[in-house]
Amino acid sequence: MGQRGEPRRVQAYDGELGAAVEGAQEGDDAAFAVAYRLVQPGLLGYLRGLVGDDAEDVASDAWLEIARDLGRFKGDGAGFRGWTATIARHRALDHLRRQRVRPRSSALEQDVLDLPGPHSTHDQALESISTGQALKLVRALPRDQAEAVLLRVVVGLDGPAAARVLGKRAGAVRTAAYRGLKRLARQLGAEGVTDDAHRTLGESK
């Protein structure tokens, strides 16, 4: 029920992901490779929204930690996506703190340093968010909207899972994602977003 509003592509692989994680926890390298293949695209898109061109390096650091701590993870495929997103976010925050001496070109990069450390709106808008152009637009959104959109659409987390990653209430995250997607849809030229987005991302209250 909690995944009702997630993109269909996310629902389709969560069962496969859960099985792969179980296998990886039992020492199956091939199963770990499957889990990596399923999670990495969304994780990389999320990190590109946070750290830009440094996303590959941050993702590598995150996967080292994921592999090291895999035995401690408990949950299903959807839970694994949330767990890996949390680890990736912490590594991104660490990276941004190390780079703080350099001027930041992105409002999201600057603001995310102050965050705590520890779906289909319209097909055109959703599919476009994975492109480089749209990621630039996402990074220009207000901080709360940008991270909510990245977690909800790019990583594919539901409202409660995204809220856990961000340390916020689910309603606040759904509202931020809804507003961010609405703004993105206008910028990307999508039409008919308002009603569909509200149904997908859930009521904010």
pLDDT tens digit sequence for 16-32: 999 999 999 999 999 99
Residues 38-45, mean pLDDT to the nearest whole number: 91
Q: How confident is the model at residue 135, as a pLDDT? A: 75
Residue that wins the pLDDT comparison between 152 and 133: 152
First-to-last alpha carbon distance for the chain, in angstroms, is 17
Q: What is the pLDDT of residue 106?
A: 53
Q: What is the pLDDT of residues 44-102, one digit of tens each?
A: 999 998 888 899 999 999 999 999 999 999 999 999 999 999 999 999 999 988 887 55
> Mean pLDDT over residues 126-139, rounded?
65
Looking at beta carbons, which pairs linking 69-73 to residues 24 or more positions away fall under 8 Å? 70/21, 70/24, 70/25, 70/32, 71/25, 73/21, 73/25
Site of tokens 């399923």: 38
User: Which pLDDT belongs to residue 133?
Assistant: 67
- Higher-confidence position of 168 and 9: 168
